Amino acid sequence: MLERQALYLLNGIVLAQVSWKLVIRIMLSLLHRHILKEILVATGLAMGLFIFVLLVGNALRDVAELVVAGKLDFWVFIKVLGLLIPYVASFALPLGMLTGTLIALGRLSSQREITAMKSAGLSLYQIAAPVFLIAFVGMAAAVLINLHYAPQSRVERKALMTESLTDNPVGFIEERRFIYEFPGYVIYMGGREGSVMKDFWIWELDEQRRAKLFLRATEGILDYDEANKDLILVLKNGIAEQRDSEKPEAFSDNMPDSLFFGELPIALPLDQIFGDGHQKRKLRTKEMTFSQLMDLREGELDKEAAVGEPMSEARLSVQIHIQKNFALAFSIFSLAVFGVPLAIQVGRKETYANLGIALIIAMTYYFLIIMVSWLENVPALRPDLLIWLPNLIFQGTGFCMIYRASRH
């Protein structure tokens, strides 16, 4: 009899344990779905907002003036906006993830739902699991965007722009803006009267991008040569200053040789910028996909091995660009880790307050990225690896904050 009662008691204990584990699992599943839904909605709305803001900002800066002036077709403008989305998305994804985390968990914390979850036995890591899941998915998407779709869309956008502007070549040169698209040249125009450009400046650069020739004209006329795919720039009433070919940057040593001219034609080949059906320009690093960047890196490695030199500036620049894109994608997870304990501790449900906090944190992160980028000319410090430092700082700080918050 006693043995039977003991067996019943043991079975009851086992059943209770199984039931409790099942209840916990169901509770976790329901809570995770609830948190996942909150994070997805908040993050989606935040990302959409940042994509819209960045899209409008880039459009106003780059092409809106051309549309208003009638130099760019409206439907081409719409296509350009579409091609801008991958570029702005690379910045909007980390901002949206951080803002969504602050808004969703901040609201749950302010309504004591986080406290209730902790009372039910859930750890902070279990509560944050849906956030980390979304961050990992966003991180994978960001890698694909940063290293494939964004560079591709940049090339397609430029090709679309030049195709539209060859019918109106004057519209290609914008007023009061430095133009760097022509390899070997920097161009600036002060104003325009009809088809005549006023106060025209042009710098011819050497292979190290130092100014070796400076031209300034009171006016200039721009036309398109269909046969040679060239923009023909005719400068009138100007001055040319020739710098020392060996030390063009040494302005204090000798005054440049000056020459006045009445009319000077210059051919600016469009195929070097956007490419045509027979000849393509050399792509810039920002316009290369991951596979193209790796091919370029391998080429630089072969050159270094042939001459027995250490890392070249060209390979360092490529590696910095690759690592920077990976680091920016990984920032989605880093900012999410940092945002989880911050949202719970601050506990704000006001959207504007959380948006302001997110912007301050993101600006701090991007400022650190810029600071590391300044070290590009100091290869001994390995800036291609230091580019990960902001992520390590934010992740380390975030996990420390989570650990401290989970103990209270």
Q: Return the bridge partners of 204, or none.
A: 185, 213
Q: What would the pLDDT profile of 200-231 be if each residue is shown by its tens digit?
A: 888 888 777 777 888 888 888 877 776 666 77
Up-side HSE of residue 22: CA atoms within 13 Å toward CB?
A: 6
Which tops the pLDDT comparison, 7 or 208?
Answer: 208
Phi-psi region of 211 (alpha: psi -120 to 50; beta: other; left: phi over 0): beta
Average pLDDT over all residues of the chain? 77
pLDDT of residue 180: 76
Q: At what angle do helices 351-373 and 313-346 cross, to 10 degrees?
A: 160
Q: Residue 242: beta bridge partners?
A: 213, 257
Mean pLDDT of 183-194: 82
What does the angle CA 301 – CA 154 – CA 67 come to, to the nearest 5 degrees? Answer: 155
Q: Please, are residues 187 and 179 in contact by the beta-carbon 8 Å criterion?
A: yes
% of the chain surpassing 90 pLDDT? 11
**pLDDT mean over 123-145:** 88
* Res 355 pLDDT > 80: no
354 has pLDDT over 80: no
Inform me whether the pLDDT recorded for 240 exceeds 90.
Answer: no
In this structure, of 196-200, 215-219, 253-257, the range with the lowest mean pLDDT score is: 253-257
pTM (2 d.p.):
0.69
Cα–Cα distances in angstroms (integers) from residue 32 to residues 26, 131, 140, in the given order: 10, 10, 21
User: What's the distance, Cα to Cα, between the start and end of the chain in Å?
Assistant: 48
Mean pLDDT of 162-178: 69
Q: Does residue 342 contact residue 401 with C-beta atoms inside 8 Å?
A: yes
Task: Report the alpha-carbon distance of residue 395 to residue 368 in Å, rounded.
Answer: 14
- State the Cα–Cα distance between residues 192 and 203, nearest whole angstrom: 19
Mean pLDDT of 269-284: 53
Higher pLDDT residue, 273 or 30? Answer: 30
Q: Looking at per-residue confidence, does 69 or 107 come out higher? A: 107
Q: How many CA atoms lie within 13 A of 75 on its CB side?
A: 0
Q: How many CB atoms lie within 10 A of CB 174?
A: 18
pLDDT of 27 > 50? The answer is no
Please determine, for residue 172, whether its predicted confidence score (pLDDT) is greater than 80.
no
User: Distance between CA 186 and CA 204 in Å, rounded?
Assistant: 7
* Class of residue 186 by CB neighbours under 10 A (exposed 0-12, middle 13-18, buried 19+): middle
Provide the pLDDT for residue 350: 57
> What is the reported pLDDT for 392?
92
Find the mean pLDDT for residues 30-59. 85
Region 256-281 average pLDDT: 63
DSSP H stretches of helix in 69-206: 74-110, 113-119, 124-144, 150-165
Confidence of residue 187 (pLDDT cuts 50, 70, 90): confident
Q: Which helix (H) or strand (E) holds 187?
A: strand 185-193
With a cut of 90, say whether residue 144 has pLDDT above it.
yes
Residue burial 273-305, b: 16+ Cβ < 10 Å; e: rest: bbbeeeeebebeeebbbbeebeebbeebeeeee
- 């490529």: which residue's tokens? 318
- Integer CA distances (angstroms), 338 to 86, 305, 330, 333, 341, in order: 25, 43, 13, 9, 7
Query: What would the mean pLDDT of 259-284 be, rounded to a whole number?
Result: 64
* Between 308 and 395, the higher pLDDT residue: 395
Better-predicted residue by pLDDT, 86 or 10: 86
Instruction: Find how far residue 198's CA is from the centre of its chain.
Output: 35
- 3: tokens are 């043995």
- Give the pLDDT mean for 49-61: 84
Q: Give me the mean pLDDT over the 95-107 stretch.
A: 87
